[in-house]
Amino acid sequence: MDSSVSPWTPVKLICGIFIILGIISGVIVISLLVLYLDPKSDDLTVNYNTNGDFNTVFATNLIVGKETSVVDLESLTQQVNQHLSLPAYQLGIRSATLVPGTSVIKATSTSRKKKRQTQTRGVISCDAHINQENEDIQQGDKFVVAFYPRNWPPLVCGNNRCNRDQMEKVKSKLVARFGMTPFSPAVKLNDGSVLSIETRFCVFGSVDSVTTTNTTATSSIKPGLQTANPGATVTTTVPQTSSACTDGIKNQDETAVDCGGAICAAKCALEQTCSKNADCANGNCHSTLKTCQIPSCSDGNKNQDETAVDCGGAICAAKCALEQTCSKNADCANGNCHSTLKTCQTPSCSDGNKNQNEVDVDCSGICAAKCLATQSCLTNADCASTFCSTTSKKCDANQTKVECTPSNPTKSDIFAGRIRRDPNAGLLDLSNYNSVDMQSHTATVLIDGQVLLAGGVDSYFGFLQITELYDPAIQTWMATTGKMNFARMFHTATRLNDGTVLVAGGDSGSGAVNTAELYNPNTQTWTTTTGNMALARMFHTASLLNDGKVLVAGGHSSSGAVNTAELYNPSTQTWSTTTGNMAVPRRYHTASLLNDGKVLVAGGDSGSGAVNTAELYNPSTQTWSTTTGNMAVVRKYHTASLLNNGKVLIAGGSASGGL
């Protein structure tokens, strides 16, 4: 072994290596400490509290009269993160407030040079100037948002320094994005209104409210927004367009990118998301898929030529169910579209269709109503006129035989059925007998004691215009010189104070009529009144009042039983409706003139069956009032007789179970 080599040499080498490694480690540690120390800078910095919050002030295109808070912060948070392209909502919002222009914004920049830079940017401007006394920045109306960090990925940051670095990056992106292009969020305010406002970044800082005198806030106002007087409540209208409607991002209340919703004017194209039909350019948002689709028979909307949603019309094979809208029988699954309601209904005797076992529309067969003139029939029993033509198989209300055999038939010829005549043509001598087997006519005692028979229906000739007179002195019948202008049955006839007879309403064979005419006993002729009733009606009552007017009440019209009443004035031959209506619609009722001049109306059919109610008409007020009590039994088609003691006797009639 060489004695010149010290035995401590290896030890010294090992120690030297450790020293070198220690030096290297120290350099590395010092380098890392620099990274984790806060550098000094004159740039804008964020004032963090314990939560890392910082405020940001934006200029807006609004003029507000008072401080107003945003209540839907989650929606605003979503819009901000989307605008900044931040994933997973990394930037949160604690509060957002619209502040009037009479407020002072305290900048947090540590550099006066930074504060004095020009901050005017187009029509939406911070409008800043320096107040040399307190170094505050006075500005127009502002939108102040308090941000805070949330949802940082745990692998990115493990300490406060990292969090601050991340926030500085977010802040830089916020300045770049919001400072270069306006941000147009849709915000919901605490007064319930929803606005789309345009904003531009101004400064990081806070806003303190101040009181000013004779100061008017000014700001550039975008078309479509209305200014408010200083101190008044903000009044705005939603602009028709917004820059956020062309930013290529789904924000505000859009249903797809830059389309749909209430703010953007653009409508969405096919396959884009929608929430209602108005969101789509073609007006069809599929109710299940919630995307704009070509109209179809399964989209949950009424479109194409459908009469209801996805049914009816010529395109869709599906038929509509009961109560759904229809336009024809073929639209309904059961083949019955109600002619008036225009909805699919169960077949009935009032649906305007020939169904069930009806002989014609809503008549005969299962239906109680008989068929009218020109309607189909099988037998005489099918017709209201009781005459069914054997050749045409139609009901005939005016069947005639002009040729007579013998040429001058006698009473026995007519009664034996060897000859019939047309009563409306005025043929044949009616002396000694009533030549027509009338029914549903009227009989009125005239001043001279004769009896006037008017209208009705004949089993052979149908609805009649003919009128006849019976002379009790010689017990003979004779035809009047003239006949009524209109054939009618179920009408009323009232002898007026001057001796003439007023005939009103009734059924002409084609339904209720509103015409009226007067019979003159001196000339035996008929003339129509100057005016007609306001409502066509039959099965009504007519009462001669003490003042000479005639009260017509209730009856049946095309809509069913009615509760209206009208007055006929003989001096003007005109009609007027009464001030009040009856409490209950009624037909087949009675009306009695009482000793005190009032009219008692009792019973009848309300459209839902016989009733037991009664009402009083007061001619002085033209109003109706119900009686204290009701009849013991419901009834219609009954009689009413005024007794000598002033009471009224109600007798007989019909009810659902009979009387």
**Domain locations in the chain as residue ranges:** 54-246, 420-651
CA nearest neighbour of 264 among 283, 284, 245, 239: 245
Question: 453 - beta bridge partners?
Answer: 443, 468
Yes or no: say if 268 and 255 are a contact pair by the CB < 8 Å rule: yes
Yes or no: say if 171 and 139 are a contact pair by the CB < 8 Å rule: no
Q: How far apart are CA 287 and CA 298, in angstroms?
A: 9
CA nearest neighbour of 650 among 592, 597, 571, 595: 592
Report the half-sphere exposure of 482 (CA within 13 A, side-chain side). 15
DSSP string, 131-176: -TTT--EE-SSEEEEEEEE----TTT--SHHHHHHHHHHHHHHHHH
Tell me the per-residue pLDDT of 375-423, one tens digit each, with 9 for 90 and over.
999 888 899 888 887 778 888 765 533 333 344 444 444 333 333 344 4
**pLDDT value for 426:** 40
Stated as kind and residue range, the H or E segment containing 14 is helix 9-35
Q: How far apart are CA 519 and CA 348, in angstroms?
A: 41
Yes or no: say if 638 and 592 are a contact pair by the CB < 8 Å rule: no
Distances (CA, A) of 169 to 109, 143, 164, 172: 17, 22, 9, 5
- Check residue 9 and report its DSSP letter: H
- What's the first-to-final CA gap in the chain, in angstroms? 151
Q: How far apart are CA 243 and CA 148, in angstroms?
A: 26
Q: How far apart are CA 549 and CA 544, in angstroms?
A: 6
- The token pair at 598 is 């009032």
**pLDDT value for 108:** 41
Q: How far apart are CA 462 and CA 476, in angstroms?
A: 24
Yes or no: say if 166 and 152 are a contact pair by the CB < 8 Å rule: yes
Instruction: State whether residue 329 is helix, strand or coil.
Output: helix
Stated as kind and residue range, the H or E segment containing 31 is helix 9-35
**pLDDT value for 373:** 87
Q: How far apart are CA 583 and CA 617, in angstroms?
A: 11
In whole angstroms, how large is the CA radius of gyration of the chain?
Answer: 47
Q: How far apart are CA 624 and CA 541, in angstroms?
A: 15
Strand order in the sheet with 525-528: 492-495, 501-504, 516-520, 525-528
Angle, CA 570 vertex, CA 566 and CA 571 arms, to 5°: 125
Q: Could you tell me which residues come within 8 angstroms of residue 55 by beta carbon, excluding any fewer than 6 positions away?
A: 144, 145, 146, 147, 204, 205, 206, 207
**pLDDT value for 131:** 37
- For the entire predicted model, the pTM comes to 0.39
Instruction: State whether residue 250 is helix, strand or coil.
Output: coil
CB atoms within 10 A of CB 548: 13
Q: How far apart are CA 203 and CA 210, in angstroms?
A: 19
Q: Which residues of the chain have pLDDT under 70?
A: 1-6, 31-52, 63-65, 87-89, 101-140, 151-164, 179-182, 205-243, 397-438, 459-461, 656-659
Tell me the per-residue pLDDT of 13-65, one tens digit each, with 9 for 90 and over.
888 787 888 888 877 777 665 455 444 333 333 333 345 677 888 878 776 66
Instruction: State whether residue 654 is helix, strand or coil.
Output: strand
Yes or no: say if 36 and 175 are a contact pair by the CB < 8 Å rule: no
Stated as kind and residue range, the H or E segment containing 115 is helix 112-115
Q: How far apart are CA 215 and CA 227, in angstroms?
A: 15
Question: 183 - beta bridge partners?
Answer: 199
The greatest distance separating any two alpha carbons of the chain, rounded to the nearest whole angstrom, comes to 184
Instruction: State whether residue 587 is helix, strand or coil.
Output: strand
Superfamily of domain 420-651: Kelch-type beta propeller (2.120.10.80)
DSSP string, 468-502: EEEETTTTEEEE-SS--SS--BS-EEEE-TTS-EE
**pLDDT value for 440:** 84
What's at 264, amino acid-wise?
C
Is the torsion defined by CA of 410, 411, 417, 422 positive or negative?
A: positive
Yes or no: say if 186 and 194 are a contact pair by the CB < 8 Å rule: yes
- Check residue 7 and report its DSSP letter: T
Question: 130 - beta bridge partners?
Answer: 137
Q: How far apart are CA 420 and CA 416, in angstroms?
A: 10
- The token pair at 409 is 């038939």
Q: Could you tell me which residues come within 8 angstroms of residue 132 by beta carbon, excluding any fewer than 6 positions away?
A: none
* Angular region, 181: left φ>0, alpha ψ -120 to 50, beta rest: beta
Buried b (16+ CB within 10 A) or exposed e, 580-602: bbbebbbbbbbbbbeeeebbbbb
Strand order in the sheet with 457-458: 438-439, 457-458, 462-463
CA nearest neighbour of 589 among 577, 607, 567: 607
**pLDDT value for 18:** 78
